[in-house]
Chains A and B, each alone.
Chain A
Amino acid sequence: MVRTATIQRKIIITAIAWTIGLLIFFPVLWTILTSFKSEAQAIADPPVFLFFDWTLENYSIVQERSDYLRYLWNSVIIAGVSTLLGILVAVPAAWSMAFTPSKRTKDILLWMLSTKMLPAVGVLYPIYLIFIQLNLLDTLIGLIVVLMMINLPIIVWMLYTYFREIPKEILEAARMDGASLQKEILHVLTPMAVPGIASTILLNFILAWNEAFWTLNLTAAKAGPLTAFIASYSSPEGLFYAKLSAASTMAIAPILILGWFSQKQLVRGLTFGAVK
C-alpha cells in the first residue's frame, strides 16, 4: 500500500518536473530547432516543430556572411587568456591567504569582493578614455585585461574556498619531512589543488565568455567576441529567424556543454562560500 502510494507520488512529481524543465528549456530548444529550418519554415504559421526539411544551410551562410569563426576565435582567446592570467595572479594570493592567514586576510578578501560590486557603468568613461589613449579600443589585449580584472575577485575567492579545504596537517607534515618550498608546491600543492583550480577555470571561462558590457562597449569589428557578433543581429538581420538561430546556437553551444559540468562551482563561485 505504502509503496504504491510513493510510486504514484514519484510518477506525478516526475511528470510535473519534466514539464516545467522542458518549459524553461524551451527557448533554447526552439532556437536550436529553428536553426535547422529554412527561413520560410522558421516563420511558418502555424509554427512547425519537428516535421520540416532539416538543413544545415543557415550555418554555412552565417559563416560566409559574417565570418563566425573569427568571432569564435576572439571569444576563445579573450575568455581563455583572461581566465588563465587571472589564475596565475590569484593562485599565490589565495594560497597564502588560505595557509598563512593573518589578521588582515579577512579584510583583504572582503575588499577584493567589494571591487567586484563596482557598477561597470560607473567607470565606463575612464576605461574608455584609457583605452583610447593606449590604443586599446577593439583589441584583444585590452579586453583580456579588463575581463581578467573583473573576474579576478571571483577567482581569488573560489580558489581560497577550495584551498581552505586542503588539510593544513599535510603541508606541515611535508615541511617536517624537510620538503623545500619547491617540492611542497610540486608534490603537495599541485595534486590537491588541481580539482579546485580546474573548477575555477571552468566557471570563470563561462563568465568571461558571456560578459556583455565591456565586450559590447569596447570592441567593434576586429576584436569583437560572440556577444558582439550576436548583438549585430539586433536589426534587421534578426528578422531572419533561421540565421539568427544558427548564429545563436553556435554562440551558446560550447558554453551550454561546459556549463553542465559546472553546476556545483556555480553556487560556490557566485555566493562566495556563503551557501554550501
Chain B
Amino acid sequence: MATLDSRTISRMMMAPAVFLLLVWMLVPLTMTFYFSFKKFLPLRGGDLGWVGFENYIRFVTSSSFWPSVQATLAIVGGVLLITVFFAILLALLLDQPMWGQGIVRILVIAPFFVMPTVSALVWKNMFMDPVNGLFAHLWKFFGLAPFEWLSQASLLSVTMIVSWQWLPFATLILLTAIQSLDREQLEAAEIDGASTLARFYHIILPHLGQAITIVILIQTIFLLSIFAEIFVTTQGSFGTKTLTYLIFQRVLESQNVGLGSAGGVYAIILANIVAIFLMRIVGKNLDK
C-alpha cells in the first residue's frame, strides 16, 4: 500500500511540469506543421487552402535559401572554432597558479552576462563604426584606411561579436573539466620526463574530449538560433541573413506564414539532429 501511495504522490508532483511542457511543445508544433501545408497570408487574403509540400519546395528553392544556409554555417562554424580554440588556451592559463585568479576569472566571464542587444549595439557603434569606432581610431593610428566592418566584413563582424559573448561559457566549462583532472597522473608524467606538449596531447586533451563535445553541441543549439545580434546590427543585410533570420522575415515581416512555417520545420529538424547527439551524452551521464 505504502509504495502505491508514494507512487501516486510522485506522479501528482510531476504532473504540472509534464503537462505544461507537453502543451507548450505540442500546441505550437502542431500549428507550425498545419500552417506549413497551407498557403496562408494573413495580410493578403488569409487562409488560401492546402498546398501540400509546395511551401517546403519553395523554401529550399528560393534564392535566399542557400545564402542563408551559408551564412548560418559560417557564423556557427566560425564561432565554434574561435571559442573552442581560445577557451582551451584560456582554461589552461586560468588553471595555473597566479595572483588575483578570482578577479581574472570574473573579467573573462563578464561578457556572458551582457544582454545580446547591448553587446551587439556596443560593438556595432563604439567599436566597429567606420568613423567614430575605436577600431577606426586604432586603424588610423597605424596609418590604415578605416574599415566598414559591418558592411565590408559583415559575417566576420557578427562572428566576432557572438564569439565574444560565448567565449566565457566555453572557457568556464573547460576550466571546470580541467580542474577535475587527476593531478597525480600529470605529476607522474612530468617526473617521467614528458614534455609540456606531450602532457597536453596525451593527458589533458583526451580528458577534455567530452567537455569539448558538450561545449560544441550546446553552443551549436544556441548559435543556430541567434537573433538579437543580427536584428540590431545588420538586420540580415550584407549576407548575414541566417536561417533563423530568414524564417523570422518570412513569418513576421512579409507575413508569408505558410512558407515561413515550412522553414520552421526545417529548423526544428536541424536542431533535433544536433540535440540527439547531446541527449546521448547527457543520458549516459545520468546513469552514472
Contact = CB atoms under 8 A, between A and B. Distances in A.
Contact of A117 (B97, B141, B275): B275
A3 interface: no
A13 B111 contact: no
B226 to A, nearest CB: 9
B126 A117 contact: no
A230 B272 CA distance: 32
Interface string B109-122: 11111111111011
A133 to B, nearest CB: 11
B286 to A, nearest CB: 5
Contacts of A56: none
B73 to A, nearest CB: 16
B175 to A, nearest CB: 9
Nearest to B244: A121
A263 B257 contact: no
Contacts of A276: 176, 180
B189 interface: no
Interface string B126-142: 11010010100100110
A221 to B, nearest CB: 16
B177 interface: yes
Contacts of B167: 24
Interface in B125-171: 125-127, 129, 132, 134, 137, 140-141, 164, 167-169
B264 A115 contact: no
Contacts of B111: 24-25, 27-28
A61 interface: no
Contacts, number: 304
A86 B107 CA distance: 30
Contacts of A108: 14, 18
B6 A100 contact: yes
Interface in A197-242: 206, 209-210, 212-213, 216-217, 226-228, 230-231, 233-234, 238-239, 241
Nearest to A268: B176
B126 A30 contact: yes
Q: Is the interface of A mostly helix, strand, loop or mixed?
A: helix
Given A30-B134, A93-B16, A125 B32 contact: yes
Contacts of B7: 100, 102
Interface residues of A, number: 94
A43 to B, nearest CB: 4
A109 B286 contact: yes
Contacts of A173: none
Contacts of A84: none
A46 B141 CA distance: 9
B126 A17 contact: no
Interface residues of B, number: 105
Interface in A220-276: 226-228, 230-231, 233-234, 238-239, 241, 244-245, 248, 251-252, 255-256, 258-260, 263, 266-267, 270-276
Interface stretch (B56-64, B74-82, B247-255): B247-255
A130 B211 CA distance: 39
B279 interface: yes
Contact of A92 (B13, B231, B268): B13
Contact of B228 (A18, A121, A231, A248): A231
Given A27-B111, A96-B9, A152 B20 contact: yes
8 contacts: A18-B100, A24-B164, A93-B16, A118-B271, A119-B264, A210-B114, A231-B232, A270-B173
Given A24-B108, A119-B268, 17 more contacts: A93-B16, A96-B11, A100-B7, A110-B283, A117-B275, A121-B227, A122-B32, A123-B31, A126-B31, A127-B28, A152-B20, A210-B116, A212-B228, A216-B228, A230-B118, A233-B121, A238-B125
Interface of A: 10, 13-14, 16-18, 20-22, 24-25, 27-28, 30-31, 34, 43, 45-47, 89-90, 92-93, 95-97, 99-100, 102, 106, 108-110, 112-115, 117-130, 149, 152-153, 156, 181, 206, 209-210, 212-213, 216-217, 226-228, 230-231, 233-234, 238-239, 241, 244-245, 248, 251-252, 255-256, 258-260, 263, 266-267, 270-276
